[in-house]
Structures are given as C-alpha cells and as structure tokens.
Copies of this chain bind each other. A is one copy, B any other.
Amino acid sequence: MRPLSVDSLNPSIAKVEYAVRGELAIKAEEYREQLRQLDHGLPFDKVISSNIGNPQQKGLDQPPITFSRHVAALTEWPALADLAPNAFPKDVIARAKELGEEIGSIGAYTHSQGVPFIRKNVAKFIEERDGYPSNPAHIFLTGGASAGVSLLISMLINNPKAGVLIPIPQYPLYTATLAQHNGVPIPYHLEESDGWSTSIETIEEAIERAHRDGVVPKALVIINPGNPTGALLAEETQVKLLELCEKHSLVLLADEVYQVNLHRPDDHPFTSFKKIVAQQQSPVPLVSFHSISKGVTGECGRRGGYFECTNISDDILALIYKMVSVGLCPPVSGQIGVDTMVRPPQPGDESYELWKKETDVIHEALRHRTMTMSGRLNSLPGVSCVNSPGALYLYPQIQLSDKAQEAARKAGKQPDAFYALALLDATGICVVPGSGFGQKKGEWHYRLTCLCPGVDEYVNKLEKFHEEFIEKYGV
C-alpha cells in the first residue's frame, strides 16, 4: 500500500501556524528533559516558560485560588463534607451542595450549552458588570475561549473569499483557525507609537484593500485587553468600532479574556463591548468571549470559558447549539470553574478574606512585574517596550543589526526567531518571536509573559543576554 503521506492530507492543515507552542516551545521542552540529567551541560539550571500565559505551570507556580479548589474537590467527592467537616469553609459546603443539586454527578454529560444554572449565574455576572440584561439562553459554556472562537470562525467562513479582520499583532489562534477553515485573514495594524491603539481609519483601509482583492469581510476581531499588546480600548473607540461594524455588516468577535488583568485601572479601565452595544442600542451581532484561564483564576488546565451572543437570531443560536451538541458538552470541571469565577465569595462569607488576599497578591504581582520589566527593557539599547496597562504580556520591539539579520538568514531563521532561540540557548527563557503574532515589515519583536516570580533575577538574565547579543552582532 501507499504509506499515508502529508501530501495526501487536507492542505489547509499545512497552512496552520501556532507559534505559542511552536519551535521555541518544543526546544524548551527538550531542554527541560535534558536538565533532568546531572551532567546536562546547559548554561542554565531551569527552563522558564514565558511563551504562554499559563500562571500555574511548574517554575511559575502561581498558587490556585483556594476557594476554587475547595469547591472543585467537594464537587468531585461530595462525601468529604461529612468525612472532613472542618476542612471546608461553610460557604464552600453550601456552594458545592447547591451545584450538586443542580448538576447531579459531575461525571455526567451536561446540557451541550452548559449547565443551565451556571449559565444563569454567568448572566447575572454580566448584568452586574455592565448594568444591562443578559439572557442565559444566549450564553454557551465552552472548553476555554479558544474552542468558542474556533467554532464561531468555522461557522462564519462560508467560502474561500470570506475574511475576518484581525489585529496585528494578534493572538495566533485567529490566523490558525482561519487557515484551518479556509478563511482569509484581513490584517489591520495597531499603533505601537500610540500604546498599541486601535485606529478606525486603519481598519477602514484594510476593508477597502480586502474588497479590492475580492475578499468579503465577515467579522472584526478585537482583543481587549490586547494580546500580546496589553492595550485597553477607550469607550469612544468602542462606539466607533461598533459604527464601523454596522456600516460594513460585520460580526464583532470580542476576545475579552483578560478583562480583570488591569494594572492601571484608573487610567485604563475595561468596558465590555456588550455594555456599549446595549448603551448604544446597536444592532451589531456581537460574540463576547471570556475564560477561566486568565484573570486571577488562571485555571488553564480545567478548560473553561463562555461566550455570550448579542443580536444573534434564534435560528443561528439553534445552529450553534447543534454544533456544540456534536461535541456533547464542555468539561464539567471547567464549567464549575466558570461558576466559581462569576460567583466569588462575598464580604461576610467565610472564604472571603482569604480569597481577597490571594487575588490582591496576584493583581499586585502582575502590576509590579509588568512595570519593572517594561521599565528595565526600555533602558536597554535597541529595545523599546510599551508599558502595558493590561493582560499578562509585554511585546518589546528589538532592533536587529544587519549582522544579526545575516546570521539569522544563514541559520534559516527569521531574525526575531534567531534572537529568541539564542535567548533560550543562553538563559533557558522561552519567549515567542514577533513573527508568530505579526509585525510591520522590517520590525522585530518578541512576546513574553509577566508571570515569572523573582522578576529582578529574571530581567537580569534578559539584560545580560541582550548585552552579549549586541556585543556580538552590534545594534
């Protein structure tokens, strides 16, 4: 028989790229294995995974919120409430009991759209956040935000000339999903010199360019707070973006998974697109995504999240339901994680004090690290870095000399990938080259997370490497 070959597979698959877990991450894993040997011969003693927003991973070790795990453990094995009555706060016991009554065993498939009771709680959370009604029937619980984004894009792409407007830099889930489903990414650049702001004109130009190419824009992706940029949209901009969507009949896909990761909320607050749509009584179809993987919960491994549909007709909601039903249901452990996120302990609850302390520590650590890192990176020759007001990342721009670019070419790498590989080889720090997120021609960046404890020692390594790199290759 002919062996199965890559050439015989779906050609769309070959086009998919996802740098966050690409070459750098794979090499970092190999180093991690190598470090298990006593005589590993590497110039570092640990790998630091700054490539992905994964707060609880080994080496970063952001502790989980105790309340979340209390509820999770008790829903896994409800008998513990009697077997270990002193191990759990009273509000946790009540919460787990309530969830148990609604869900039954967490080992059963739930409603494909997610447990109705949890969707009601999500709707209440949205109503309290925004001050406008939310309908549980329009909410779908998902296995992380990615699953929802992928589903929506697969539904919107109705032919190979259908496109989706994507910010550059972007989170590469969007281009990966578009490649998989044969849609056209329509890039629009964010303004680095203006703190990675979003420009209506730039998007209008991208739409015109698409039309000239025979591409039909179907949707606009906005990531707010930005990934990898950390930028936050002002409400005036959000209003204009809605007007733009209305003018061009675009569905708005609002990736809002970093909505509570705000480092300077007084100057840079978060406003949901749902609120603006309601306020403006806008007819724009909106799908808003949220997740338990980021924020202060950081429960990436549970795979939990939701999306809320606004201005989406019942027949389309029925289609979405049909599609999610083929996958049966989102992970129940993730659904319970969503419930915990949208219903944290309240003042007076036995769990409240600890919850407050733990979440304050996480917020403060992120704020402190982001500021320290951006400040020190900015003082390096050939590096400039927007002091990100939100999310978990920095996206510094690096100047790379002709000599460095030539060395990269010889190594068969993009210059920023060459820099990032050299950083990994020298320090064990794994970042993602800007080519994975997109950047203007001739510019080079990398994304790194602000999750590593011991920020001073960490930045020392980045600095030392950078100085050695420019000593070798010039600025």
* Chain A residues within CB distance 8 Å of chain B: 1-6, 8-11, 13-14, 16-18, 20-22, 29, 52, 54-58, 61, 63-64, 68-70, 72-74, 76-77, 80, 83-84, 86-87, 104-112, 143-144, 146-147, 150, 154-158, 173, 176-177, 180-181, 218, 245-247, 249, 251, 283-285, 293, 297-303, 311-313, 315-316, 319, 322-323, 325-334
Query: Smallest CB–CB gap between A54 and chain B, Å?
Result: 5
How far apart are the CA atoms of A284 and B4 in the complex, in Å?
A: 9
> Within 8 Å CB of A87, what residues of B?
80, 83-84
17 pairs, CB–CB < 8 Å, chain A vs chain B: A1-B284, A3-B283, A6-B315, A9-B316, A10-B154, A10-B155, A16-B322, A18-B326, A57-B109, A68-B107, A84-B84, A109-B300, A144-B327, A300-B329, A301-B329, A301-B331, A302-B333
Query: Smallest CB–CB gap between A215 and chain B, Å?
Result: 15
How far apart are the CA atoms of A328 and B171 in the complex, in Å?
A: 13
Between A22, A63, A144, the greatest number of chain B beta carbons within 10 A of the residue's beta carbon is seen for A144
> Within 8 Å CB of A246, what residues of B?
1
> Within 8 Å CB of A22, what residues of B?
322, 325
> Within 8 Å CB of A77, what residues of B?
69-70, 72-73
> Within 8 Å CB of A319, what residues of B?
6, 9, 13-14
Assess the A64–B107 pair: CB atoms within 8 A. Answer: yes
How far apart are the CA atoms of A303 and B324 in the complex, in Å?
A: 14
> Within 8 Å CB of A63, what residues of B?
105
Assess the A302–B326 pair: CB atoms within 8 A. Answer: no
Assess the B316–A331 pair: CB atoms within 8 A. Answer: no
Copies of this polypeptide in the complex = 2
How far apart are the CA atoms of A311 and B4 in the complex, in Å?
A: 9
Assess the B158–A10 pair: CB atoms within 8 A. Answer: yes
Assess the A331–B315 pair: CB atoms within 8 A. Answer: no
> Within 8 Å CB of A76, what residues of B?
69, 72-73, 76
Residue of B nearest to A250 (CB): B1
Assess the B80–A301 pair: CB atoms within 8 A. Answer: no
How far apart are the CA atoms of A21 and B21 in the complex, in Å?
A: 34
Assess the B249–A2 pair: CB atoms within 8 A. Answer: yes
Contact A283 to B57, CB < 8 A, known contacts A73-B73, A329-B301: no
How far apart are the CA atoms of A74 and B245 in the complex, in Å?
A: 48
How far apart are the CA atoms of A70 and B313 in the complex, in Å?
A: 44
> Within 8 Å CB of A74, what residues of B?
73
Query: Smallest CB–CB gap between A104 and chain B, Å?
Result: 4
> Within 8 Å CB of A331, what residues of B?
143, 301-303, 331, 333-334
> Within 8 Å CB of A302, what residues of B?
106-107, 331-333
Assess the B18–A322 pair: CB atoms within 8 A. Answer: yes
How far apart are the CA atoms of A326 and B84 in the complex, in Å?
A: 40
How far apart are the CA atoms of A154 and B182 in the complex, in Å?
A: 12
> Within 8 Å CB of A155, what residues of B?
9-10, 13
> Within 8 Å CB of A54, what residues of B?
108-109
Residue of B nearest to A179 (CB): B326
Residue of B nearest to A176 (CB): B326
Assess the A9–B313 pair: CB atoms within 8 A. Answer: no
Assess the B283–A1 pair: CB atoms within 8 A. Answer: yes
Query: Smallest CB–CB gap between A463 and chain B, Å?
Result: 28
How far apart are the CA atoms of A147 and B29 in the complex, in Å?
A: 25
> Within 8 Å CB of A72, what residues of B?
76-77
A146's contact among B6, B322, B328, by CB below 8 Å, is which?
B328
Query: Smallest CB–CB gap between A94 and chain B, Å?
Result: 17
Query: Smallest CB–CB gap between A58 and chain B, Å?
Result: 4
How far apart are the CA atoms of A319 and B327 in the complex, in Å?
A: 22
Between A54, A285, A312, A330, the greatest number of chain B beta carbons within 10 A of the residue's beta carbon is seen for A54
How far apart are the CA atoms of A333 and B311 in the complex, in Å?
A: 35
How far apart are the CA atoms of A246 and B108 in the complex, in Å?
A: 39
Assess the B157–A56 pair: CB atoms within 8 A. Answer: no
Assess the A21–B325 pair: CB atoms within 8 A. Answer: yes
Query: Smallest CB–CB gap between A126 and chain B, Å?
Result: 21
> Within 8 Å CB of A1, what residues of B?
245-247, 249, 283-284
Query: Smallest CB–CB gap between A355 and chain B, Å?
Result: 15
How far apart are the CA atoms of A29 and B245 in the complex, in Å?
A: 37
Query: Smallest CB–CB gap between A319 and chain B, Å?
Result: 6
